[in-house]
């Protein structure tokens, strides 16, 4: 095993070890916080007026206090924080106070003070990434909790009679969403409360917020939250603490309204229709520029978010909406009142039809699996081909640093894509123009590099030139700057595809949360297997090809990819409103080839094709001149 493999496995080992350690830290910290919550809440059931009134509960409180000290000691080696180290003293004070049967108020004060100090360290995640969905929480509750806690959360489910201690009555318990989250995720040892860590982070928070709403199910009237009431506070406060804040802030909103609050999550096509109406209203007032902005928002923040899902069921409808959107924006730019009115009415009709199609769509496991698999394969193949060509070119050079740079780039891009999946709400909250701009810039940068690569590959397709290059230019490729360039290019090529995949899969996930996670995971596994097979076949086939023939074949493949990405890049800029659109009615739309029916994207592709043809013609002329010179020399 060479040193590079040793290094690779070392990095993998360290990554796995770090991940496992962080997971263990999170679990132990949450357990510590949960134990402190239980001591502060349940101690009055064990002791009253300095006397033990429940031997079992008192033994449990003593055990929890002892366990808290042990957890803090176990965490010390991995949490390098002076404030955390100093918690040993108050934890031992808590243990002694329990042993001395101090009054409940004193115990609660000590326990909650320690808990708040832990939360203030900022090393434990206590806030969801997005505002939780009570609708999804209700579904999760019905599927996982009703049998013990009952349909309305009174702790009187069908299995409750067989459980000791009894299931929590959410109408009586003083819980915060964070406490509920910790208990649901970790479970409670020695009770019927099992761990539900198989749920995703979003699902855990959805369920935690929902169980807090059960005691307030009569207060369903909507009200905006006070501007100074933030999600992190709502997550960590119980109802008493929340009521105290509302009293101080002189807010008219009730605790029940906060617990039942769910932000509006407008359907994308409703957003499209609203902005289309606003656009036409502004156009009628003579505000053409404002009308154009609303029209652009109608597409980017509405139609585009569902076009992949809609395209799987009604591709002609999607093409019709896109075509009419372009024509409508063109009519606004030209102040064409008749055209604007006609396309506005046509778009309203088509968007209404699209809403009907989506409403009738059965987002089954099979549909989500098929849609996810198709997007994963389609986007992965485009990036895979470029990466494989680069690696195949580098193989004869035997520059291991260059190969490592390419692998590092695409691996980092994939990891970035995985991380972005967990922050997908923030990605979706990016403006549509920003998303399109990212895709457009990535595509055009890739085109520039591919053009250079294609010309270079074709010029070195003769074995004599290749040997000359190996002999005279190898040192220049080994320079650090070129390694960084390879890494950046590899990253850009893969990340632009990963970014698009994440956005599409997130829309699929929202369509049917109950089955989407499983379907997407299976699609991901299937796509990995398919891509692995394609990679093996490609490498085996190209390994048998002589260098010259491979370079010639690769130059044609790279040229084709450059033309495809040019079309996609220009279209992304057009959709973001940075480049005007001049439709061509008779031109076809072939997304797979990056062909779009508008003058600007087709001209850009023809320009790239012209550059490729010019350099190939120049290479042929140079080859002919060289042959003539060799013939003259021989004579």
Question: In angstroms, rounded to a whole number, what is the distance separating the alpha carbons of residues 349 and 355?
Answer: 10
HSE of 504, CA atoms in CB hemisphere, 13 A: 25
What pLDDT is stored for residue 424 in this prediction?
A: 52
Helices (H), 460-581: 463-477, 480-511, 513-543, 547-575
Residue that the structure tokens 């970035």 belong to: 416
Q: What 3 state SS string does 141-173 have? A: HHHHCHHHHCCCCCCCCCCHHHCCCCCCCCCCC
The interaxial angle of helices 268-284 and 288-298, nearest 10 deg, is 170
Q: What 3 state SS string does 182-228 have? A: HHHHHCCCCCCCCCCCCCCHHHHHHHHHHHHHHHHCCCCCCCCCCCC
What pLDDT is stored for residue 32 in this prediction?
A: 87
| SS3 (DSSP) at 598 | strand
Question: In angstroms, rounded to a whole number, what is the distance separating the alpha carbons of residues 391 and 383?
Answer: 13
Class of domain 134-259: mainly alpha
Residue that the structure tokens 């019905």 belong to: 142
What pLDDT is stored for residue 474 in this prediction?
A: 43
- Which part of the chain is CATH 1.10.760.10? 134-259
Architecture of domain 268-360: Up-down Bundle (1.20)
- Which part of the chain is CATH 1.20.120? 268-360
Spatial contact of 450 and 561, defined as CB atoms under 8 Å apart? yes
Phi then psi for residue 569, to 5 deg, are: -65, -45
Nearest to 326 by CA among 284, 292, 357, 281: 292
Spatial contact of 601 and 571, defined as CB atoms under 8 Å apart? yes
> Which parts of the chain sit beneath pLDDT 70?
1-25, 218-223, 250, 265, 308, 312, 360-364, 393, 396-399, 421-483, 485-486, 503-504, 506-515, 544-555, 558, 574-577, 592, 619-620, 622-635
User: CB burial class (10 A; 0-12, 13-18, 19+) of residue 418?
Assistant: exposed
Long-range contacts of 240-245 (CB under 8 A, 24+ apart): 240/174, 241/176
Can you spell out the DSSP letters for 409-426?
Answer: HHHHHHHHHHHHHTTHHH
Question: In angstroms, rounded to a whole number, what is the distance separating the alpha carbons of residues 274 and 293?
Answer: 13
Q: What's the alpha-carbon Rg for the chain, to the nearest Å?
A: 31
Spatial contact of 486 and 407, defined as CB atoms under 8 Å apart? no
Give the DSSP letter of residue 52: E
| SS3 (DSSP) at 252 | coil
Spatial contact of 180 and 245, defined as CB atoms under 8 Å apart? no
Nearest to 58 by CA among 43, 72, 48, 68: 43
Spatial contact of 563 and 609, defined as CB atoms under 8 Å apart? yes
């Amino acid at each position: 095993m060479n040193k590079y493999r040793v290094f690779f496995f070392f990095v993998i080992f360290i990554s796995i070890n770090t991940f496992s350690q962080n997971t263990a830290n999170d679990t132990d910290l949450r357990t510590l916080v949960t134990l402190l919550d239980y001591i502060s809440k349940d101690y009055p059931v064990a002791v009253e007026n300095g006397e033990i009134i429940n031997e079992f509960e008192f033994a449990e409180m003593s055990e929890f206090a002892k366990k808290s000290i042990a957890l803090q000691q176990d965490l010390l080696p991995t949490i390098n924080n002076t404030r955390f180290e100093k918690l040993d003293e108050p934890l031992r004070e808590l243990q002694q106070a329990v042993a001395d049967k101090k009054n409940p108020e004193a115990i609660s004060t000590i326990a909650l003070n320690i808990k708040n100090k832990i939360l203030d360290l900022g090393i434990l995640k206590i806030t969801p990434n997005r505002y939780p969905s009570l609708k999804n929480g209700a579904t999760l509750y019905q599927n996982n909790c009703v049998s013990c806690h009952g349909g309305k959360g009174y702790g009187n489910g069908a299995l409750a009679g067989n459980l000791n201690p009894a299931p929590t009555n959410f109408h009586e318990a003083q819980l915060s969403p964070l406490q509920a989250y910790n208990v649901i995720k970790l479970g409670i040892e020695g009770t019927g409360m099992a761990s539900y860590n198989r749920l995703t982070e979003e699902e855990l928070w959805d369920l935690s917020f929902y169980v807090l709403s059960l005691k307030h199910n009569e207060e369903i009237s909507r009200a905006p939250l006070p501007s100074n009431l933030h999600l992190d506070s709502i997550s960590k406060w119980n109802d008493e603490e929340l009521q105290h804040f509302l009293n101080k802030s002189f807010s008219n909103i009730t605790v029940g309204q906060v617990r039942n609050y769910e932000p509006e999550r407008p359907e994308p096509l409703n957003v499209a229709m609203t902005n289309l109406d606003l656009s036409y209203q502004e156009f009628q007032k003579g505000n053409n520029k404002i009308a154009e902005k609303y029209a652009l928002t109608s597409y980017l923040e509405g139609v585009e978010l569902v076009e992949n899902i809609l395209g799987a069921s009604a591709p002609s409808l999607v093409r019709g909406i896109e075509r009419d959107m372009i024509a409508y924006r063109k009519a606004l730019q030209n102040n064409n009142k008749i055209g604007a009115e006609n396309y506005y009415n046509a778009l309203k009709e088509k968007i209404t039809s699209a809403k009907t199609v989506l409403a009738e769509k059965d987002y089954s496991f099979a549909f989500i699996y098929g849609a996810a698999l198709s997007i994963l394969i389609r986007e992965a193949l485009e990036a895979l081909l470029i990466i494989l060509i680069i690696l195949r070119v580098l193989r004869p050079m035997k520059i291991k640093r260059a190969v490592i740079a390419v692998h590092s780039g695409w691996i980092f891009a994939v990891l970035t894509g995985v991380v972005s999946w967990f922050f997908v709400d923030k990605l979706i909250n990016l403006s549509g123009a920003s998303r399109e701009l990212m895709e457009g810039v990535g595509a055009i940068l890739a085109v520039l590099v591919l053009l250079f690569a294609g010309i270079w590959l074709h010029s070195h397709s003769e074995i004599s030139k290749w040997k000359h290059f190996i002999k005279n230019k190898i040192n220049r490729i080994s320079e650090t700057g070129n390694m960084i360039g390879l890494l950046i290019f590899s990253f850009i090529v893969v990340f632009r595809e990963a970014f698009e995949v994440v956005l599409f899969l997130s829309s699929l996930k929202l369509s049917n949360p109950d089955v989407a996670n499983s379907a997407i995971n299976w699609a991901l596994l299937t796509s990995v297997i398919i891509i692995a097979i394609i990679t093996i076949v490609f490498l085996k086939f190209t390994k048998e090809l002589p260098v010259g023939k491979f370079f010639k074949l690769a130059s044609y493949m790279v040229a084709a990819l450059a033309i495809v990405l040019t079309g996609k890049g220009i279209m992304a800029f057009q959709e973001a409103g940075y480049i005007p659109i001049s439709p061509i009615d008779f031109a076809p739309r072939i997304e797979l080839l990056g062909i779009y029916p508008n003058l600007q994207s087709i001209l850009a592709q023809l320009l790239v094709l012209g550059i490729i043809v010019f350099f190939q013609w120049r290479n042929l002329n140079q080859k002919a001149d060289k042959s003539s010179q060799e013939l003259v020399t021989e004579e």
